[in-house]
Structure 1
Amino acid sequence: MIKRVLLSLWVATGASTAHAAIEIQDFVTPGGINVWMVEEPSIPFTALEIRIRGGASLDLSGKRGATNLMMALIEEGAGDMDAQAFQAKRESLAASFGFRAYDDTISISAQFLTENRDEAVALLREALTNPRFDQFAIDRVRAQVLSGIASDAKNPNRIASAAFNAAAFGDHPYGSSLDGTAETVNALTRDDIVTAHQNALTRDRMFVSAVGDITEAELGALVDDLLGDLPGEGPPLPEDVEFGLGPGITVIDFETPQSVALFGHEGIERDDEDFFAAYIINQVLGAGGFESRLMTEVREKRGLTYGIGTYLIPKFHAELYLGSVASSNETIAEAIEVTKAEWAKMAEEGLTEEELATAKTYLTGEYPLRFDGNAEIASILAGMQMIGLASDYVVNRNDFIEAVTLDDIKRVAGELLETDALHFVVVGQPVGLDATQ
């Protein structure tokens, strides 16, 4: 069965506003792979996006960093082509490939011209199904990963994130960096990389989208040829994990004139019926840049920081509500107190009618601007599939925003924002700030 959803967009372009429409087609290939596509033949170019659930969370015990290293190696030679030959072939086709590992997913992106489609897809297929994983390439890319790990160990923001996640999630994959540690990455063998490849690239948790100069029949055949020989099933996903970090302050001594703080508590699931109310609350509290309350109170009124922000992070196995701020060692304690006060005020009072109206105007107005180019649309569609949204979400999303009331905001703010549950991990040499946990 083919589903078609028409999304009509008004997009600002310079001094004018242009009307555009995209028709999302949802179909299953002859090989049984579900695909979303937007056919756009005006430019002889197609963007393909593939997401597979699992990602770095599938790293085996003692092998942390294997999936990340594997994804960085896929483009380092395939079949009878070494890394240099593979890159030369890709460049000759004017194709672009991207391979990334995340906590819960891996992503494979490809962009190619219509005239080179068959050759570009054949090259990508070789990379996905027959990567070489030459030892010299492993050693070279491993060194790059180790350099990043060493750099992170000196970065206050990375230090704060690592400490926060370790305390919140312990031995769960969320408790450690997907990059791994110097010890685990150094110990990875070629066999470990091959195993990570077999575990991560499977068809059972795959989501595919494409946008561009391609028909449904062409795309169905392309996807089956590209992905049909990958393993049918992958290993079990990890269990869900409770947010395990209680209220308090953790101070990590680090010689720097400016302390950084990562703070937060448990968040809200993406499919919770109150998610859109929480989304608006977050926009006003800390995600709205210079228009947010925290930026106004911490930066504009008191000059305690250059920037502060908050983020709803609904992962697949846990939900977080996080924020970050940096301030001088002498003023970070005050910045934290102001942040907690605004958190409590929002929890108690919710938003004003004007704040709600302004947030709705912004959030509904900026949404169509995300659909700006084939690659961007393909990425959005794959992401929607992965979190279980229907294709008509693109049509209904702004209605969900508009339906949120002040009463909804007040109730959800009281439930979501737990001032007494906030934990701050501070990296620096803060004055007048003592660790409480």
Structure 2
Amino acid sequence: MSERNGLRYGLIVLVTLLLTGALTLLASRQASAPDTAPVADNGTAPRLESLAGLNGQAPGRRALQIQTWHTAEGTKVLFVEARQLPMFDLRLTFAAGSSRDGDTPGLAMLTNAMLNEGVPGKDVTAIAEGFEDLGADFGNGSYRDMAIASLRSLSDREQREPALALFAQVIGQPTFPEDALARIKNQVLAGFEYQKQNPGKLAGLKLFERLYGEHPYGHPSEGTERSIPPITTAQLRDFHARAYAAGNTVIALVGDLDRSEAEAIAAQVSAALPKGPALPPLPEPKAPEPGLTHIEFPSKQTHLMIAELGIDRRDPDYAALSLGNQILGGGGFGSRLMEEVREKRGLTYGIYSGFSPMATRGPFMINVQTRAEQSAGTLGLIQQLLADYLKEGPTQKELDDAKREMAGSFPLSTASNADIVGQLGSIGFYDLPLTYLEDFMQEVQGLTVEQVKAAMARHIDPQALVIVSAGPTVEQQPLPPPTDKPAVQPLGVPEH
């Protein structure tokens, strides 16, 4: 390292330590404060109160004043002014996930991964150093529904403007260099080799294939061993021009900015993107054939994935299903599945259920890993527990406990600017009401046992389950009876 670089990195470390200390102090004082601190009748800020003062009620969370508009290029913008820290978070959400791959699985993933590999006049190292020198952070990622690109920067104009200029180049003018594409392809192909040793990953891939078939959700998001090698830079450029177009993008912005500054940032970012409209909506998936598929794998444990098509993100039953699933298997310890499968029988380290709503019907899934010789019995037990829950519904105590737990954890969804910008991205991408966060918790708290039971029964059919197992074929043993102290303790942390 040169003397100049050594001095530079030494200064960066010093500044980072000072900034971290300051931010930690601010965060500890303001983590649960709303955007504008409440003022008491006498004009002074209220005193801190103990948790005992809540009297069983959920703690408050930051009240969001979401502002929205469209840029000249047609990009939807959602903005929350947050003055607590001298920073801002910017997230772009593109309808450019693997569901837009078409006949080229892995195209969306490679396009997103290559964004910061080169722009005119800068290679990947120069881009990384550019953000680093400004104290800014660039992020990106690709999923089934969407792709994202994000920027976190100090809000002071001297740091903000060059960080935004570099970000605009990265999202709007990627050069997709050939050498970088070859390197990333090799990394992806190496990952496929690792997948072959991961029974949980193999089961997940087979499950989506079974659930969705030829639907755009059905193929692996990262592509396949056959699809990745032939992808060209010309294909990446074409996909970027279509899927990263301004009309196919949502901008979420949170931080130490006023409305005019936010509008200027959104306009700059939107203008940097390719011009073009939103891509057409995805088709609805067809109901799959139920049944079991087994993947033979040498292991002491068997992975079980039990699923069926669930709901899309705008389904009116979303709140009821979220609460119902919290009781079934989404709430960790205390949920029915965890209580019956782990606590009373010692069959697993953990078992979880959940809805994953997407632009179209995402999966409802139960996921567990258990001893290979008890996998058949564990599967039968889970199916029976699910059928009983759908028939009986939750108890009033289960419902009340789940409401308190959800209300208590809900403030974490807006605990930081990064959390808020993620929520805004989701609200904008799935076209949810601006009052969605408040509406959701109000609806959850007003739900009855019968409403939750009816919603779960509408969307889950115990006879329509798609099941994938991955593990060895071994002689099966009967399950132990339920007890408060199971003779056989759960296996340790899952193998994979």
Q: TM-score surpassing 0.5?
A: yes
Distance 1:33 1:191 in 2: 25
How far apart are 1:9 and its partner, in Å? 10
Please identify, of 116-125 and 363-372, the stretch whose mean Cα deviation from structure 2 is larger.
363-372
| Residue in structure 2 matched with residue 356 of structure 1 by the alignment | 399
Distance 1:8 1:136 in 2: 50
Q: 2:269 aligns with which of 222, 226, 236?
A: 226
Residue 275 of structure 1 pairs with residue 318 of structure 2? yes
SS in 1 for 2:463: helix
How far apart are 1:14 and its partner, in Å? 12
Closer/same/farther in 2, CA of residues 166 and 130 from structure 1, 3 Å limit: same
| Residue in structure 2 matched with residue 284 of structure 1 by the alignment | 327
How far apart are 1:41 and its partner, in Å? 2.4
Radius of gyration: which is bigger?
Answer: 2
**Greater share of strand residues, 1 or 2?**
1
Unaligned runs of 5+ in 1: 1-5
Amino acid at match of 1:80: G
Distance 1:205 1:98 in 2: 19
| Residue in structure 2 matched with residue 334 of structure 1 by the alignment | 377
| Residue in structure 2 matched with residue 33 of structure 1 by the alignment | 75
Closer/same/farther in 2, CA of residues 149 and 337 from structure 1, 3 Å limit: same
How far apart are 1:344 and its partner, in Å? 0.7
How far apart are 1:197 and its partner, in Å? 1.4
Distance 2:111 2:311 in 1: 32
Residue 96 of structure 1 pairs with residue 140 of structure 2? no
Contact 1:165 1:174 in 2 (8 A): yes
How far apart are 1:288 and its partner, in Å? 0.6
SS in 2 for 1:419: coil
Residue 119 of structure 1 pairs with residue 162 of structure 2? yes
| Residue in structure 2 matched with residue 110 of structure 1 by the alignment | 151
Amino acid at match of 1:242: K
Q: 2:117 aligns with which of 71, 76, 84?
A: 76
TM-score when normalising by structure 1: 0.92
How far apart are 1:169 and its partner, in Å? 1.5
How far apart are 1:224 and its partner, in Å? 1.3
Q: 1:170 aligns with which of 210, 213, 220?
A: 213
| Residue in structure 2 matched with residue 3 of structure 1 by the alignment | none
Q: 1:409 aligns with which of 428, 452, 460?
A: 452
SS in 2 for 1:110: strand
How far apart are 1:7 and its partner, in Å? 8.3
Distance 2:37 2:378 in 1: 41
Q: 2:288 aligns with which of 223, 244, 251?
A: 244
SS in 2 for 1:187: coil
Contact 1:161 1:262 in 2 (8 A): yes
Contact 1:347 1:415 in 2 (8 A): no
Amino acid at match of 1:231: K
Query: How big is each residue's C-alpha offset from its partner over 1:139-197, in whole Å with a ceiling of 9 and x where there is no partner?
Result: 11111111222212221111111111112222222111111111111111111211221
Please identify, of 177-186 and 35-44, the stretch whose mean Cα deviation from structure 2 is larger.
35-44
Contact 2:73 2:275 in 1 (8 A): no
Distance 1:7 1:81 in 2: 38
SS in 2 for 1:49: strand
Please identify, of 379-388 and 315-324, the stretch whose mean Cα deviation from structure 2 is larger.
315-324
Amino acid at match of 2:137: S
SS in 2 for 1:418: coil
SS in 2 for 1:185: coil
Distance 2:36 2:410 in 1: 12
Distance 2:62 2:394 in 1: 34
Give the total of aligned pairs.
424
Residue 204 of structure 1 pairs with residue 204 of structure 2? no
Unaligned runs of 5+ in 2: 1-33, 39-47, 52-58, 477-496
Closer/same/farther in 2, CA of residues 423 and 9 from structure 1, 3 Å limit: farther
Residue 312 of structure 1 pairs with residue 346 of structure 2? no
SS in 1 for 2:250: strand
Root-mean-square deviation (CA), in Å?
A: 2.2
SS in 2 for 1:309: strand
SS in 2 for 1:263: strand
Contact 1:95 1:113 in 2 (8 A): yes
Distance 2:292 2:63 in 1: 50
Closer/same/farther in 2, CA of residues 243 and 87 from structure 1, 3 Å limit: same
Provide runs of 4+ in structure 1 moved above 6 Å: 6-10, 13-19
Amino acid at match of 2:147: I
Distance 1:386 1:235 in 2: 12
SS in 2 for 1:322: strand
| Residue in structure 2 matched with residue 369 of structure 1 by the alignment | 412
How far apart are 1:33 and its partner, in Å? 3.1
Closer/same/farther in 2, CA of residues 15 and 136 from structure 1, 3 Å limit: farther
% same residue = 29
